[in-house]
């Protein structure tokens, strides 16, 4: 069945090809897709993690036994940060005096400073006790190519409970102390 959204995607794909033929190759003078009206699409669905899914996800992350990985995942709902913003964090971006964190050069090109929940501050400090804190060093020295396959198979039945959980679903979970708190 061809839904309005699917038809719009077809038109967009064809428009990209014809745009390339128009601008770069100069095979045609006008992109005919520009005059095609797009269908109105229904609003997207917003789905939040249930309590059980969040508990299963937390157990799967903890089962990895990687403190930095656990902190990385728990900082998402605690800060609302994108993966790239978390990966670029330096120790100097965290202000332990006022319990806040500054994300530099975000997607919008601006810096953004937000307060940190107390439980998250404790987790970050715990991570700092494991290795010396160099202000210029990254908070997460290893890049986490965040692959849910790592998490899905860490705990029995996790794969069936959390099928494919996108990063945004964790962000939508929100800063709930139960999720962020120490084990």
Mean pLDDT throughout 160-177?
50
Find where tokens 């998402």 sit. 76
Instruction: Pick 47 or 35 by higher pLDDT.
Output: 35
Find where tokens 């095979």 sit.
Answer: 27
29-38 average pLDDT score: 94
Residue position matching structure tokens 């959390």: 162
**C-alpha distances out from residue 99 to 83, 119, 165, Å:** 21, 11, 29
Tens-digit pLDDT profile for residues 89-107: 999 999 999 999 999 988 8
Provide the pLDDT confidence category of residue 46 given band limits of 50, 70 and 90.
low
Answer whether 120's CB lies under 8 Å from 79's CB.
yes
Q: Break the chain into its structural domains and give their ranges.
A: 4-35, 51-180
Higher pLDDT residue, 58 or 3? 3
Q: Where are the alpha helices (DSSP H) in 28-117?
A: 51-63, 67-79, 83-87
Question: Which region holds residue 165: left if phi is over 0, alpha if psi is between -120 and 50, else beta?
Answer: beta
CA separation (Å) from 169 to 71, 114, 177? 17, 20, 17
Average pLDDT, stretch 45-70? 74
Domain 51-180 classified CATH 2.60.40.420? no
| Contact between 182 and 119 (Cβ < 8 Å) | yes
Residues 6+ apart with CB under 8 A from 58: 179
């Amino acid at each position: 069945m061809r839904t309005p959204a699917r038809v719009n995607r077809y038109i967009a794909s064809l428009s990209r090809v014809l745009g390339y033929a128009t601008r770069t190759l100069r095979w045609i003078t006008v992109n005919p897709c520009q005059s095609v009206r797009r269908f109105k699409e229904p609003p997207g669905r917003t789905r939040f993690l249930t309590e059980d899914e969040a508990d299963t996800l937390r157990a799967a992350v903890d089962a990895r036994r990687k403190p930095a990985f656990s902190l990385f995942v728990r900082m998402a709902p605690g800060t609302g940060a994108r993966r790239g913003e978390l990966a670029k964090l330096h120790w100097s971006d965290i202000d332990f005096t006022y319990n806040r964190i500054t994300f530099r050069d975000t997607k919008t090109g601006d810096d953004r400073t937000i307060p940190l929940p107390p439980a998250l501050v404790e987790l970050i400090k715990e991570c700092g006790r494991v290795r010396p804190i160099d202000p210029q060093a990254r908070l997460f020295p290893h890049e986490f190519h965040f692959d849910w396959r790592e998490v899905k198979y860490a705990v029995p039945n996790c794969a069936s409970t959390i099928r494919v959980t996108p990063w945004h679903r964790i962000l939508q979970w929100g800063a709930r102390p139960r999720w962020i708190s120490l084990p």
